[in-house]
């Protein structure tokens, strides 16, 4: 009887601990929800894209670099997440910081990226955003406000995480 009670108690503690870890892997809600800083950046083909063109739908904006191990680790899950949301009126953008097209193109041979990749070669865009390290990802609501932030890698194909984004529609 005592072994059953102790076993149940320990299992409950383990479940609580795992639930807390899972919650920490989600997104941090930004209480002030500031306006997302504007950008106008080229893609891999040199075509310009502005954040304003995505207004009216949720946008996931990921800042990354090829030399960043956590960035490389999260990219496959971002691709899987993109496959889940691409037809749901949600945009996903990867903004590479400080690297040229050749470096990124070579990198994408090993780490394909199926969603929009933009280039911040000068680093001016990243300086206007509240970024503390790479990777940093923001979720922007349809009105253009920063609603969530994730510092470090996440599993972007997790339904719990994607549901937070879907609720912004």
pLDDT grade, residue 1 (50/70/90)? Answer: low
What's the whole-number mean pLDDT along residues 101-129?
97
Q: What is the pLDDT of residues 19-47, one digit of tens each?
A: 334 444 689 999 999 999 999 999 999 99
pLDDT for the residue 8: 35
DSSP 8-state secondary structure symbol assigned to residue 119:
E
* Segments forming the whole domain that contains residue 61: 28-166
CATH number, residue 122: 3.40.30.10
User: Does residue 11 lie in a domain region?
Assistant: no
User: What is the reported pTM?
Assistant: 0.85
User: Does residue 92 lie in a domain region?
Assistant: yes
What's the whole-number mean pLDDT along residues 88-96?
99
Q: How far apart are CA 94 and CA 120, in angstroms?
A: 10
Total structural domains within the chain: 1
User: Does residue 5 lie in a domain region?
Assistant: no
User: Does residue 9 lie in a domain region?
Assistant: no
């Amino acid at each position: 009887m005592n072994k059953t009670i102790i076993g149940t108690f320990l299992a409950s503690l383990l479940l609580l601990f795992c639930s807390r870890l899972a919650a920490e892997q989600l997104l941090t809600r930004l209480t002030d929800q500031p306006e997302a800083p504007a950008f106008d950046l080229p893609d891999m083909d040199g075509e310009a894209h502005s954040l304003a063109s995505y207004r009216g739908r949720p946008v996931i904006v990921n800042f990354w670099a090829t030399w960043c191990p956590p960035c490389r680790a999260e990219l496959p899950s971002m691709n899987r997440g993109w496959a889940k949301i691409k037809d749901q009126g949600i945009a996903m953008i990867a903004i590479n910081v400080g690297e040229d097209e050749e470096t990124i193109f070579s990198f994408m041979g090993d780490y394909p990226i199926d969603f929009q990749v933009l280039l911040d070669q000068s680093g001016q865009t990243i300086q206007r955003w509240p970024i503390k390290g790479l990777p940093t990802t923001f979720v922007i609501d349809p009105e253009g406000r920063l609603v969530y932030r994730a510092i470090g890698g996440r599993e972007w194909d997790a339904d719990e995480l994607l549901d937070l984004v879907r609720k912004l529609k």
